[in-house]
Every structure is written in structure tokens, then in C-alpha cells.
Amino acid sequence: MRSATPTVPPHERIVVALDVPTLGEAERLAAQLRGAVGWYKIGLEVFAAHGPAAVTAIRAHGPVFLDVKLHDIPTTVERAAARIADLGVGLVTVHAGGGGPMVEAAVRGLGQGGEVLAVTVLTSTSDEELAAIGLGPAAVQVPQLARLATRAGAPGLVCAPRDLAAVRQAVGPGVRLVTPGVRPAGAGTDDHARAATPGQAVADGADLLVVGRPITRADDPRAAAEAIASSLG
């Protein structure tokens, strides 16, 4: 399967997950990786501690992907998305499981202030865990949630590497697909139940690859990012 944006330079496909304890550490990593990655992902840990200041600080080094996974009633999500739009982020996550009206509300609230990415099933969630909460396997849930979110107006989706081919088939070439759980060959999977290598993820249709610990915990983060980009050709 081809991705929606096959001509993106390899390094611009990399989203480094700045899932670190302090804003100072996140800023140091962002400065070190400037020009070696395409996006900086700010997650709940840093955003909960520093809020909008974290976005301002990291945005000085490159485009920001705010990974807060909004999931609430549509009115609340729309209002939150409108506030996020003021921060100048490029990408914002919501949970597709919140339903079509909630996804529509997020898109409406964000307006032209960024792009909504709807999260299908978390990469840490196994089929056994889905069954424990009364849901079918990821192979069923993920394409269904992907279609729901894109029909509600989400221009992008987040899914595990092993779900990429099915999602690309379900939604077509015009949707941005972002995948966490990307691990270079030989690296551990950490807490991702459905991980894959960068090359395999792109071959299966990914546009952006979210990589955290293999870069941020490397002895030389920039060299680690450059090695991943090189592996993509």
C-alpha cells in the first residue's frame, strides 16, 4: 500500500515523542534534534506540568504535535479544541471512540488552527484486553473507527503499525496515517503490543512515524534519529 504522502523526505516522517519528565529536558532534546526530525510530540506528561508554555517553548524548534487525546462530550471537546487552536500546534489527537459527533466537534473547534488526528485503538492494547472490555479484536475495531472518524471530518488517523494496511484500504489515499509503536530492528517493543520497524510501517502506508525511547534514551539522540531516517531510504 502507498501512503498518502509518498514524497516526504525521510527525516520529515519522524515524530519524536518528547515524553520526558521536565520541560527543560524536552527543550534540550528539541534543540538537539532540530532539522533531524519533522515533528515534536508533546504528550500528557509535559503538557500537564507546563501547559501552553510547553507548546510555546517547543514550537521554537519545529512543528508541534499535541497528543492530548481529547475524549468528552462534543461541546467540551469543541471548546477545548478552540483553545488548542490558539497555541499554534499542527496536529492534535482525539479518541475516535468518542463517536462521530465528538470528532466533528473537534474539527469544528480546531478550525484552521491545526489538524485533527483520530486515535483508533491504542498500540498498548492487545486483543485480549479488548475482549476483556467487551470489544472485538483490533483487526475489526480499528478499520471501523477509522471509517467513522474520517466520515466525521478527521483528516488524519493514529493506528498501530500492524493495522496500517487495513486502515489505508478502509479510508483511501487522502488521509494522513500516523503510527506510534515504531521500533528500529533489534529494539524492544516496550509497552506497545503491536509494534513494527520504520521501514515496514512506511511500506504499509504510514505517513508519520512516532518514535520515543529509541531516540530520546539513546546515547546520541540525533544520531539515532538520523539512523532511522537512513533506514527509510
- What does pLDDT average to over the chain? 91
Band of residue 74 on the pLDDT scale cut at 50, 70, 90:
very high
Catalytic residue among 13, 69, 168, 192, which? 69
Q: Please report the pLDDT score of residue 8 as a whole number.
A: 82
> Does residue 119 belong to any structural domain of this protein?
yes
Q: Please report the pLDDT score of residue 225 as a whole number.
A: 96
Active site residue 41: no
**How much is the CA Rg of the chain, to the nearest whole Å?**
16
> Does residue 2 belong to any structural domain of this protein?
no
Tell me if residue 94 falls in helix, strand or coil: strand
> Does residue 183 belong to any structural domain of this protein?
yes
DSSP state of 89: -
> Does residue 118 belong to any structural domain of this protein?
yes
Amino acid at 36: A
Instruction: Tell me the per-residue pLDDT of 110-141, one tens digit each, with 9 for 90 and over.
Output: 998 899 999 999 888 888 999 999 988 989 99
Please report, for the domain that includes residue 95, its CATH number. 3.20.20.70
Q: Please report the pLDDT score of residue 195 as a whole number.
A: 58
Domain that includes residue 118, residue range: 10-231
181: β partners: none
> Does residue 154 belong to any structural domain of this protein?
yes
> Does residue 139 belong to any structural domain of this protein?
yes
Domain count for the chain, please give it: 1
DSSP state of 185: T
> Does residue 3 belong to any structural domain of this protein?
no
Angle at 151 between CA 107 and CA 165, to 5 degrees: 110
* Cell 509494534, located at residue: 195
Cα separation, 53 vs 2, whole angstroms: 37
What grid cell was written down for 87?
Answer: 497555541
